[in-house]
Amino acid sequence: MEDAVRWILDSLFTAKEVDLQNFKRGFIAGVAVFFILAVMVRILLLYLFRGDKRSNGIKIIGEGGGIIIAPGAVSDLVKGIGNGIKHMEVSKVKLFNSGESLYLNVYVVMEGNDTNFSGVSNSFQKQIIEALKDRFGIECVKNVNVYLDKIVASKGSGF
C-alpha cells in the first residue's frame, strides 16, 4: 500500500526535464495569449466607449427649475444662421458632450469654387456662439467645428 501511494505521489509531483520544458513553454504561451487578448479587449472598449458622446440636449438650471434645449432646436438655429450666409448651406448639425463642455460639428455645402472657406467659416463659428448665448443663454458650447462636405457649382442665384 505504501509503495502504491509513493508511486502515485512520485508520478504526480516528479517531472522529467522534457515535461518541465514543455510546461514552461505552454505557460509562457498562455500568458502571452492572455496579454494579447487583454490588449485587444482594451482597444475595443476604448473604441466603443469614447469620451465624446452625442448629447441629448443642454440643461439650463433656473430659479423655477430646469430648461432642456433639445439638439434639434440648436440644429435649427445653426441651420438658420448658416443658410442665411451667401453661398453656404448647412447639411448636418451634431451636438456632442465632452466632459463639462459641449461642442458642435456642423457640416456645410459651399457653392462656387472661388468662395473663401476659412473666412466664411470663422465668421460663421462666431455667429453661432453669439447666437447660442443671446437666444438660449448657452455658454457651455466652446467649440464649433465646421466640416466642408462638398463644393457645388455656382448656379448664379445662390442657395
Residues of the domain holding 6: 2-48
Residue 7 in domain: yes
Residue 157 in domain: no
Q: Same structural domain for residues 76 and 134?
A: yes
Angle at 29 between CA 25 and CA 43, to 5 degrees: 165
Q: Same structural domain for residues 110 and 145?
A: yes
User: How confident is the model at residue 12, as a pLDDT?
Assistant: 66
148 close to 82: Cβ distance less than 8 angstroms: no
Q: Same structural domain for residues 36 and 71?
A: no
- Write out the three cell numbers for 127: 455667429
Q: Same structural domain for residues 13 and 62?
A: no
Q: Same structural domain for residues 97 and 20?
A: no
SS3 label, residue 32: helix
Q: Which residue has the cell 447660442?
A: 132
Residue 128 in domain: yes
Q: Same structural domain for residues 29 and 89?
A: no
- Could you tell me the CATH number of the domain that includes residue 124? 3.30.70.1350
95 close to 145: Cβ distance less than 8 angstroms: no
* Count of structural domains within the chain: 2
57 close to 70: Cβ distance less than 8 angstroms: yes
pLDDT digits (tens, 9 = 90+) for 5-64: 888 777 766 767 777 778 888 888 999 999 999 999 999 988 777 666 777 778 888 788
Give pTM, 2 decimals: 0.61
Q: Same structural domain for residues 43 and 94?
A: no
Q: Same structural domain for residues 61 and 43?
A: no
**CA nearest neighbour of 117 among 94, 75, 159, 147:** 147
User: How confident is the model at residue 39, as a pLDDT?
Assistant: 96
Residue 159 in domain: no
Residue 78 in domain: yes
